[in-house]
């Protein structure tokens, strides 16, 4: 009897703190997605206006896929949405993100270094945008990457020589259609 009395509040306390932690996670992911929304300056299909409403969970927004518990964003697919804008560093706060597909839009500017925090990322498609800068060396940290396409952007500079060594799981790498020079080793 006494044991039950002791265990019950502890169990309750654990359950409560787990809910709070879970809520903090979706709050972090929501602010990252909202930062992305705020950096999009062109929305020809009115996706942001009509669907990405802050009155609903980001898990209900087109292109955002959450885990089954709706606590973390695990995939982002905003390909072919006609979006123009920049990629905010906050995107790197989506620490459970496994897949990002932003291909066929008009994102410009640099890939923010904050994205180097996306350590679970295995799929990254940013092809057919207007991104620029050198191919960042921190991509070599994302060692779960299996697919990486930066095709048809405005990246310049030397080809990263060690990217294949650093990314042991990489099955497909497409950097074509940029202004890169040098050789891939």
Interaction site with ligand NAG (CB under 6 A): 28, 31, 51, 53, 56, 60-62, 77, 79, 89-90, 92-93, 99, 101, 106, 108, 114, 123, 130, 132, 154
Task: Kindly tell me which of 60 and 172 has the beta carbon lying closer to ligand NAG.
Answer: 60
Pairing of strands 73-77, 64-66: antiparallel
CB 42 within 8 A of CB 85: yes
Instruction: Give φ, ψ of 53 to 5 degrees.
Output: -95, 130
Task: Kindly tell me which of 7 and 56 has the beta carbon lying closer to ligand NAG.
Answer: 56
In angstroms, give the least distance from the CB of 14 to ligand NAG: 24
In angstroms, give the least distance from the CB of 61 to ligand NAG: 6
In whole angstroms, give the CA distance from residue 132 to residue 87: 12
In whole angstroms, give the CA distance from residue 134 to residue 141: 16
In whole angstroms, give the CA distance from residue 168 to residue 13: 42
Selection from 153, 174, 152 nearest residue 163 by Cα: 174
Task: Kindly tell me which of 77 and 166 has the beta carbon lying closer to ligand NAG.
Answer: 77
The structure tokens listed for 39 are 């950096």
The structure tokens listed for 2 are 């006494």
In angstroms, give the least distance from the CB of 89 to ligand NAG: 4
In whole angstroms, give the CA distance from residue 76 to residue 54: 17
Task: Kindly tell me which of 99 and 146 has the beta carbon lying closer to ligand NAG.
Answer: 99
Task: Kindly tell me which of 60 and 165 has the beta carbon lying closer to ligand NAG.
Answer: 60
In angstroms, give the least distance from the CB of 1 to ligand NAG: 44
In angstroms, give the least distance from the CB of 75 to ligand NAG: 7
């Amino acid at each position: 009897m006494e044991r039950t009395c002791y265990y019950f509040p502890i169990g309750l306390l654990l359950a409560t703190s787990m809910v709070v932690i879970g809520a903090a996670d979706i709050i972090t992911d929501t602010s990252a997605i909202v930062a992305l929304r705020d950096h999009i300056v062109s929305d020809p299909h009115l996706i942001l206006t009509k669907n990405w409403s802050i009155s609903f969970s980001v898990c209900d927004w087109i292109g955002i896929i959450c885990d089954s518990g709706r606590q973390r964003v695990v995939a982002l697919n905003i390909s072919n949405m006609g979006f123009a804008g920049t990629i905010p560093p906050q995107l790197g706060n989506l620490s459970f993100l496994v897949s990002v597909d932003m291909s066929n839009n008009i994102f410009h500017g640099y890939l923010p270094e904050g994205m180097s925090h996306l350590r679970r990322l295995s799929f990254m498609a940013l092809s057919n945008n207007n991104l620029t800068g050198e191919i960042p060396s921190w991509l070599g940290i994302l060692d779960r990457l299996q697919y990486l396409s930066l095709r048809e952007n405005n990246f310049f500079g030397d080809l990263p020589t060690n990217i294949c060594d650093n990314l042991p799981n990489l099955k497909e790498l497409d950097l074509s259609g940029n202004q890169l020079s040098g050789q891939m080793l």
